[in-house]
Amino acid sequence: MLRKGIALAALGLAFLGSPALAAHPTPVLKTVAWSFDGPFGKFDTAQLQRGYKVYREVCAACHAMSMLSFRNLGEPGGPFYDPKYKNPNDNPYVKSLAKDIQVNDIDSDTGDAIQRPATPADRFPSPFPNEAAAKASNGGAMPPDLSVIAKGRTGGPDYLYSLLTGYRATPAGLTVSAGQYYNVSMSGDLTSAWTGDHHKVPPGGVIAMPPPLEDGKVTFDDGKPSTVDQQARDVAAFLYWAAEPKMMQRKQFGLGAMVYLLIFTVLLYFSYRRIWRNVAH
């Protein structure tokens, strides 16, 4: 009976995980083997560093990451963590990265609005002063904040990688309005924009973001070839770190917790068998 119950519960959970059936083709989702997959997965520091560079030089032109501070880059698990500097605010590399960026402030002597170089304690500055300005510069579409985007999209980093590498030439028969781009991994339903065979609606959707990456657009400091694929991979990994910066602590803590619970449970099982040994039940 217990086994039957467990099987039913597992079946129920399996049902919950299955995606909704759709009449139109599902967007392409490419699965990447990430260094942070699995219960022992870790962030690849070099990859996060490359990813940060892609974000800073490409994405940051339009996308805010308002929940991150420069100090986060130097925290354990982060791209520029240095065990010599327990306080990431002291990390000279993080300091120098911050110094290159100008942030808004108020001059405390005059009260004037000024700009000054950032410190590790500062948040990443947003590219636009407000939402209206962001929309006005981007054809009416708001570039989403990327702080937790890797958790805010089904598929997470796989989705981000797929989207960034999912731009294709518009298939003949698909009407795409100006300022929109066809992407095989974008969610949506192209049935109404498709004039071809109704059984062959192309997968994906349209997106207002022009293809952001191109080969050689970012020069990687570690000499990694700068292809679109590599850039997409690295920035997706960086964005996953940004969304889940405590992942490594979580998995490390989890290992201890699981081992402890397992020993505790086994001991309780044998105590149970011993205490009940003379009771017919």
Partner 1 sequence: MSGHSTYEPKTGIERWLDTRLPIVRFAYDTAISFPTPKNLNYWWTFGGILALMLGIQLVTGIVLAMHYVPHVDYAFASVERIMRDVNYGWLIRYMHANGASMFFLAVYIHMIRNLYYGSYKAPREVLWILGCLIYLAMMATAFIGYVLPWGQMSFHGAVVITNLFGALPIIGTPITTWLWGGFAVDNPTLNRFFSLHYLLPFVIAGLVVLHIWALHVPGNNNPTGVNVKSENDTVPFHPYYTVKDGFAIGVFLLLYASFVFYNPNVLGHADNYIPANPLVTPAHIVPEWYFLPFYAILRAVPDKLGGVLLMFGAIATLFVLPWLDTSKVRSMRYRPQAKLYFWIFILAALVLGYCGGQLPDDPVIAQPSGLILLDADINSFVWLSRVATLYFFAYFWIILPVLGLTEKPLPVPESISEPVLSHPATTPAGATASPEKRG
State which of residues 48, 153, 158, 225 lies at the interface with partner 1 (CB under 8 A).
Answer: 153
Find tokens 């192309």 and name the residue. 202
State which of residues 45, 137, 138, 187 lies at the interface with partner 1 (CB under 8 A).
Answer: 187
Burial class (CB within 10 angstroms; exposed 0-12, middle 13-18, buried 19+) of 278: exposed
d(CA 174, CA 161) in angstroms, rounded, equals 24
The smaller minimum CB distance to partner 1, of residues 20 and 169, is found at 20
Q: How far is CA 233 from CA 4, 35, 38, 73, 269, in A?
A: 43, 11, 18, 19, 46
Span from 1-9, 28-36, 88-96, 133-141 in contact with partner 1 (CB under 8 A): 1-9
Least separation in angstroms between residue 104's CB and partner 1 is: 18
Residue 113 is inside which H or E element, if any? strand 113-117
Is position 5 an interface residue for partner 1 (rule: CB under 8 A)? yes
SS3 call for 269: helix
Least separation in angstroms between residue 98's CB and partner 1 is: 17
Least separation in angstroms between residue 25's CB and partner 1 is: 13
Is position 185 an interface residue for partner 1 (rule: CB under 8 A)? no
Q: How many residues bind partner 1 (CB under 8 A)?
A: 54
d(CA 158, CA 33) in angstroms, rounded, equals 9
Is position 217 an interface residue for partner 1 (rule: CB under 8 A)? no
Is position 279 an interface residue for partner 1 (rule: CB under 8 A)? yes
Is position 24 an interface residue for partner 1 (rule: CB under 8 A)? no
Q: Where are the beta strands (DSSP E) in 161-238?
A: 181-183, 205-207
Is position 20 an interface residue for partner 1 (rule: CB under 8 A)? yes
Q: Report yes or no: 87 and 96 within 8 Å, Cβ to Cβ.
A: no
Q: Report yes or no: 233 and 161 within 8 Å, Cβ to Cβ.
A: yes
Strands 113-117 and 205-207: unpaired
State which of residues 46, 67, 174, 208 lies at the interface with partner 1 (CB under 8 A).
Answer: 67
Is position 141 an interface residue for partner 1 (rule: CB under 8 A)? no
Sign of the torsion angle spanned by Cα atoms 235, 238, 243, 244: positive
Least separation in angstroms between residue 216's CB and partner 1 is: 33
Site string for partner 1, 229-268 (x = CB under 8 A): --------------x-xx--xxx-xxx-xx--xx-xx--x
Q: Report yes or no: 8 and 166 within 8 Å, Cβ to Cβ.
A: no
Binding-site ranges for partner 1 (CB under 8 A): 1-2, 5, 8-9, 11-12, 15-17, 20-23, 39, 66-67, 72, 144-145, 147-148, 151-154, 156, 187, 243, 245-246, 249-251, 253-255, 257-258, 261-262, 264-265, 268-269, 271-273, 275-277, 279-281
